[in-house]
Amino acid sequence: MAEFRLPGTRCEPVTLYGNPVLRQPARPVTVFDRSVRKLVDDLFRTMREIETGVGLAANQIGRHEAVFVFDCGGDNVGCVVNPRIELLGEDLEPGGEGCLSLPGVTLLTERHSRARVTGADLDGTPLSIEASGLLARCFQHETHHLEGRLYIDLHPAEVRDAVDADLRSSEWYGTAAIDPRSPVYLRAQQQDRFS
């Protein structure tokens, strides 16, 4: 699998569907140093290059650390290191959900409407954030990434098979990672085939 990056860029390529790193559980962070801060900076810089991005996990830029960032608007911005998700209540909420590693695929996906993420901040200080709505969805989505799971796994086999067939026919399929500002990625993001 090749990687595609535009020259002279600081934005990290986004790991694409089919790359095995997306199915591997992340490794816990044990040392909180400059490398964690750089990873968080790289995640934010990459996520913000993509118009639809509200969260990004480390394995989505080919890294193995258990870290994700989020920006769901307002004060709902941050990062979580070594996240664990706790689903709160029984209420499920359907919502359109996509993934920056599966460009152009949005599926109506049910998630718990409330969730709590626990983990640590950049300095290793424990944190706990209770959320609802989009932020709760984001926490569930990104934590699942770090467990080696994708949102399409929440759907029946026939939906997963249709998405898999569609993505395998994409012009980018077989590329390990791609710059999210590239014409190929931008075209894929604009071709929402399932919503």
CATH number, position 133: 3.90.45.10
Please say if the pLDDT value at position 120 is more than 70.
yes
Instruction: Please check whether residue 3 lies inside any domain of the structure.
Output: no
Spatial distance between the Cα atoms of 99 and 192, rounded to a whole number of angstroms: 11
pLDDT score recorded for residue 195: 64
Query: H or E segment at 34?
Result: helix 34-48
Of the two residues 41 and 1, the one the predictor is more confident about is 41
The share of the chain scoring above pLDDT 70, in percent, equals 95
Instruction: Report d(CA 45, CA 43) in Å as an integer.
Output: 6
| Domain span including residue 155 | 9-185
Q: Which of 3, 142, 147, 158 is catalytic?
A: 142
Residue 25 lies in a domain: yes
pLDDT over threshold 80, residue 26: yes
- Residue 5's nearest CA partner among 37, 122, 15 is 15
- The 3-state secondary structure of 44-67 reads HHHHHCCCCCCEEEHHHHCCCECE
pLDDT single digits (tens) 169-194: 999 999 999 999 899 999 998 887 77
What would you measure as the largest C-alpha separation in the chain, in angstroms? 48
Q: Is residue 86 among the annotated active site residues?
A: no
Condensed to tens digits (0 to 9), the pLDDT of residues 53-78 reads 899 999 999 999 999 999 999 999 99
* Total count of domains within the chain: 1
Q: Is residue 2 included in any domain, yes or no? A: no
